[in-house]
């Protein structure tokens, strides 16, 4: 197999566009200029011809509504001409704009039923591709008046914001060549794989994505023998097919390995610009699920499929890169490069401190609430890890002191060179929610099922805002170097409370963070509330990322989704108790009491009597706990009922228990 040839063969990418489009049309797309109708017609015809060569019959606007998954509505290319005949046609109009209606997708009240139509608009910055014999055209999704109904629109707007402000800062450093700055992202994806047949025997996994009941297995992840272990043949076959299909779609899947929990795995691609990375991550999740099916496996993307065992997250590696390929978080070698690096770095420090609540909110969901702070993922407290070397350098700058070695000259930003900052490898801190890893930031709070669009538009916008403030200030100064020194020094002083290199899982950190005045928004409702704060409304409005009504709508959608998730979980649990737990307990108690009676006084029946008593005692708790959950569909009521059910599961023989156990689920492959 020729992988370089296979890579991207299902993408209408740069090479295809260059080969199939007139030079001026190709140039217009690359420059992001508005296309005339004639130009759009040309692009549509070329796309269609390319698609037909691949046996495609349909096209769809492919978009990312607030459900967090992608949406598509297929139309065929056929167009009747004359008597009973058709041609294959695709117009520029159909390429550029769609009216999928899509009135049942969440809008948070942004559209009333009489104007329920939703519109899709082609995003020429993302490449069209073929999936499932259908030409998929990445689009934004909005209402009639342009208000966004999707995850993609604010992300694209935030890319403009960060581009604009980063360019202002680069100009201050005398850089006139760079014409564009993009956020780059590599999203590491964790997931579980279990046998499909076993998955189908667990209504909780089917309906909620996580197990709502389940006694702990004798062996979980205690021995840590799964992490980086040899990959089992069935899993390996799945991973190979997934990689191949992703490569065809131009997704640069690079790394695959077993993760900490049994049955848990990870995939990481090579980073790319954030809008493409967002599309790619959606494809990774979608294909992982569908390819798992072909291997009689179920791919679980939920943040916490199994209690007591590590859940799954998504590490969002984020950086800024110029169109000439310079990574703005690469410290560089010259004093000039160092100064620029330090300014961008302090911008992130200030942004993470100023907007810690928003960043936290961007990682909030019902599923992720089970993970954050559970000693497997960062706590709900935002802090920034810089590593010892960089922290010492910043300390020296803040104090205006010599750096480390006595006698070493005072670090004058823009004049002297930074000492080498080793890329973190040995002192990597895996407990930090946001870690600087040498030339990028790794935001580790995201849940595995997330669209990465949300966290990234928040990151882009908050950093853009601080760069704006910096540029506003520095543009006024006549002595740039002196002003830069002061600005960096003052910023470190004002925001150093957000820097933390220690163990984020430790109890002491929670106390210290409180003393430092850092937020600790432990659940989704309290985290999401932050979206409505005046500071958030102003931030997103100023950078034209979301207006106030869009922000309110988003808050409403996310809160509704949170409430509905818990409601569905509660109902599923009640169903499981009725259909599985109670019948199993009744059957076992029947067996025991029958034997107990038959034994009479002739044989010792202490075992039966004992077990019967224990099960009867536990079962007696059920009625009250069931009615509590029926009347109040809350996490607390679910936890209480679960405790009883799991204790019963531990007593009832496996062959009478209708649900596969944790031990079976985690060792199903």
Residues near ligand ADP (CB under 6 A): 184-186, 188, 268-271, 315, 317-319, 327, 439-440
Residue 248 near which of Mg ion, ligand ADP, none (CB within 5-8 Å, type-dependent): none
Residue 326 near which of Mg ion, ligand ADP, none (CB within 5-8 Å, type-dependent): none
Query: Which CB sits closer to ligand ADP, 162 or 185?
Result: 185
Compute the least distance from the CB of residue 256 to ligand ADP, in Å.
11
Query: Which CB sits closer to ligand ADP, 39 or 277?
Result: 277
Verify binding: residue 440, Mg ion, rule CB under 5 A: no
Query: Which CB sits closer to Mg ion, 263 or 434?
Result: 434
What distance in Å separates the CA atoms of residue 76 and residue 40, rounded to the nearest whole number?
19
Residues pairing with 9 in the sheet: none
Query: Which CB sits closer to ligand ADP, 327 or 416?
Result: 327
Residue 500 near which of ligand ADP, Mg ion, none (CB within 5-8 Å, type-dependent): none
Strands 297-300, 78-81: pairing is unpaired
Compute the least distance from the CB of residue 386 to ligand ADP, in Å.
16
Judged by CB under 5 A, the number of residues near Mg ion is: 1
Q: How far is CA 207 from CA 180, 203, 300, 403, 447, in A?
A: 45, 6, 12, 57, 18
What distance in Å separates the CA atoms of residue 25 and residue 17, rounded to the nearest whole number?
9
What is 223-236 written as a DSSP string? Answer: T--STTPPPPHHHH
Compute the least distance from the CB of residue 558 to ligand ADP, in Å.
26
What distance in Å separates the CA atoms of residue 229 and residue 474, rounded to the nearest whole number?
52
What distance in Å separates the CA atoms of residue 448 and residue 429, rounded to the nearest whole number?
20
Q: What is the 3-state secondary structure (H, E, C) of 295-317?
A: CCEEEECCCCCCCCCCCCEEEEE
What distance in Å separates the CA atoms of residue 501 and residue 392, rounded to the nearest whole number?
11
Query: Which CB sits closer to ligand ADP, 65 or 313?
Result: 313
> Binding residue for Mg ion (CB under 5 A) from 315, 350, 360, 371?
315
What is 389-420 written as a DSSP string? Answer: HHHHHHHHHHHT-B-SSTTPPB--TTTSPPPP
Q: Which stretch binds Mg ion (CB under 5 A): 44-52, 97-105, 234-242, 309-317?
A: 309-317
Is the Cβ–Cβ distance between 659 and 576 less than 8 Å? yes
- CB atoms inside a 10 Å sphere around CB 86: 12
Question: If you search the block for the tokens 């108690």, which residue do you land on?
Answer: 589
Residue 520 near which of ligand ADP, Mg ion, none (CB within 5-8 Å, type-dependent): none
Query: Which CB sits closer to ligand ADP, 111 or 444?
Result: 444
Verify binding: residue 314, Mg ion, rule CB under 5 A: no
Query: Which CB sits closer to Mg ion, 302 or 315?
Result: 315
Compute the least distance from the CB of residue 14 to ligand ADP, in Å.
20
Compute the least distance from the CB of residue 162 to ligand ADP, in Å.
13
Query: Which CB sits closer to ligand ADP, 193 or 268?
Result: 268
Residue 391 near which of Mg ion, ligand ADP, none (CB within 5-8 Å, type-dependent): none
Exposure b/e, 490-515, CB count within 10 A at least 16 = b: ebbeebbebbbbeebbeeebbebbee
Compute the least distance from the CB of residue 356 to ligand ADP, in Å.
21
Residue 440 near which of ligand ADP, Mg ion, none (CB within 5-8 Å, type-dependent): ligand ADP
What distance in Å separates the CA atoms of residue 205 and residue 201, rounded to the nearest whole number?
9
What distance in Å separates the CA atoms of residue 553 and residue 558, rounded to the nearest whole number?
9
The structure tokens listed for 380 are 């709900």
Q: Which stretch binds Mg ion (CB under 5 A): 75-83, 133-141, 313-321, 353-361?
A: 313-321
Helix (H, G, I), strand (E, B) or coil at 585: helix
Query: Which CB sits closer to Mg ion, 185 or 530?
Result: 185
Residue 531 near which of ligand ADP, Mg ion, none (CB within 5-8 Å, type-dependent): none
What distance in Å separates the CA atoms of residue 493 and residue 485, rounded to the nearest whole number?
12
What distance in Å separates the CA atoms of residue 642 and residue 625, rounded to the nearest whole number?
9
Is the Cβ–Cβ distance between 426 and 505 less than 8 Å? no
Compute the least distance from the CB of residue 669 to Mg ion, in Å.
24
Compute the least distance from the CB of residue 188 to ligand ADP, in Å.
6
Number of separate helices (H) and strands (E) present in the chain: 25, 18
Query: Which CB sits closer to ligand ADP, 270 or 636?
Result: 270
Residue 439 near which of ligand ADP, Mg ion, none (CB within 5-8 Å, type-dependent): ligand ADP
What distance in Å separates the CA atoms of residue 375 and residue 332, rounded to the nearest whole number?
36
Query: Which CB sits closer to ligand ADP, 183 or 573?
Result: 183
Compute the least distance from the CB of residue 233 to Mg ion, in Å.
26
Query: Which CB sits closer to ligand ADP, 371 or 440?
Result: 440
Compute the least distance from the CB of residue 61 to ligand ADP, in Å.
28
Compute the least distance from the CB of residue 249 to ligand ADP, in Å.
17
Verify binding: residue 48, Mg ion, rule CB under 5 A: no
The torsion angle over the Cα atoms of residues 117, 121, 127 and 133, rounded to 10 degrees, is: 30
Compute the least distance from the CB of residue 110 to Mg ion, in Å.
36
Residue 303 near which of Mg ion, ligand ADP, none (CB within 5-8 Å, type-dependent): none
Question: Contact residues for Mg ion (CB under 5 A)?
Answer: 315
């Amino acid at each position: 197999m020729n992988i370089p040839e296979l890579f991207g063969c299902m993408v209408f990418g740069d090479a295809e566009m260059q080969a199939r489009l007139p030079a001026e049309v190709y140039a217009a797309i690359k420059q992001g200029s508005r296309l005339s109708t004639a130009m759009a017609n040309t692009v549509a015809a070329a796309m269609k011809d390319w698609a037909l060569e691949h046996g495609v019959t349909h096209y769809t606007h492919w978009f990312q509504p607030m459900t967090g998954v992608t949406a598509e509505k297929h139309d065929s290319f056929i167009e009747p001409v004359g008597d009973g005949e058709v041609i294959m046609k695709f117009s520029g109009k159909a390429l550029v704009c769609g009216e999928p209606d899509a009135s049942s997708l969440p809008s948070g009240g942004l559209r009333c039923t009489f104007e329920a139509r939703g519109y899709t608009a082609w995003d020429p910055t993302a490449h069209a591709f073929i999936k499932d014999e259908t030409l998929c055209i990445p689009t934004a999704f909005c209402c009639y008046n342009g208000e966004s109904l999707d995850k993609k629109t604010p992300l694209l707007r935030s890319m403009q914001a960060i581009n604009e402000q980063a360019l202002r800062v680069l100009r201050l450093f005398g850089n006139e060549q760079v014409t564009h700055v993009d956020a780059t992202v590599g999203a590491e994806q964790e997931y579980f794989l279990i046998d499909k047949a076993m998955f189908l025997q667990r209504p909780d996994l089917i309906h909620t994505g996580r197990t709502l009941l389940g006694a702990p297995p004798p062996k979980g992840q205690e021995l840590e023998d799964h992490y980086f272990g040899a990959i089992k043949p069935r899993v390996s076959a799945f991973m190979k097919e997934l990689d191949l299909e992703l490569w065809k779609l131009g997704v640069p899947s690079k790394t695959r390995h077993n993760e900490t929990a049994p049955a848990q795995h990870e995939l990481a691609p090579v980073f790319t610009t954030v809008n493409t990375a967002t599309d790619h991550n959606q494809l990774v999740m979608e294909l992982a699920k569908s390819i798992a099916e072909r291997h009689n496996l179920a791919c679980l993307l939920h943040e916490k499929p199994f209690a007591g065992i590590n859940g799954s997250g998504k590490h969002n590696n984020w950086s800024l890169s110029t169109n000439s390929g310079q990574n703005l978080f690469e410290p560089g070698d010259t004093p000039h490069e160092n100064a620029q690096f330090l300014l961008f770095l302090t911008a992130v420090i200030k942004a993470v401190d100023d907007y810690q609540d928003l960043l936290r909110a961007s990682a909030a969901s019902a599923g992720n609430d089970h993970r954050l702070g559970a000693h497997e993922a960062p706590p709900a407290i935002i802090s920034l890890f810089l590593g010892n070397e960089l922290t010492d350098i910043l300390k020296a700058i803040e104090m205006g002191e010599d750096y480390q070695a006595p006698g070493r000259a005072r670090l004058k930003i823009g004049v002297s060179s930074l000492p080498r900052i080793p890329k973190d490898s040995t002192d990597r801190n895996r407990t930090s929610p946001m870690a600087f890893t040498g030339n990028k930031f790794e935001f580790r709070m995201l849940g595995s099922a997330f669209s990465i669009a949300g966290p990234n538009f928040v990151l882009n916008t908050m950093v853009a805002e601080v760069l704006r403030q910096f540029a506003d200030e520095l543009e006024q100064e006549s002595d740039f170097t002196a002003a830069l020194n002061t600005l960096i020094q003052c910023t470190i002083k004002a925001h150093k409370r957000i820097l933390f290199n220690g163990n984020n899982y430790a109890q002491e950190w929670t106390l210290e963070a409180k003393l430092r005045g850092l937020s600790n928004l432990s659940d989704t409702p309290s985290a999401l509330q932050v979206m409505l704060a005046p500071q958030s409304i102003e931030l997103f409005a100023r950078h034209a990322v979301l207006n106030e009504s869009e922000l309110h709508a988003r808050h409403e959608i996310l809160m509704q989704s949170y409430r509905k998730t818990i409601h569905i979980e509660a109902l599923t649990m009640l169903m499981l108790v009725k259909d599985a737990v109670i019948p199993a307990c009744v059957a076992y108690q029947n067996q025991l009491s029958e034997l107990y009676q038959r034994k009479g006084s002739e044989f010792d029946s202490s075992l039966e009597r004992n077990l019967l008593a224990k099960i009867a005692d536990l079962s007696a708790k059920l009625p009250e706990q069931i009615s509590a959950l029926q009347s109040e569909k809350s996490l607390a009521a679910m936890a209480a009922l679960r405790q009883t059910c799991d204790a019963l599961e531990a007593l009832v023989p496996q062959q009478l228990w209708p649900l596969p156990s944790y031990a079976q689920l985690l060792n199903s492959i």
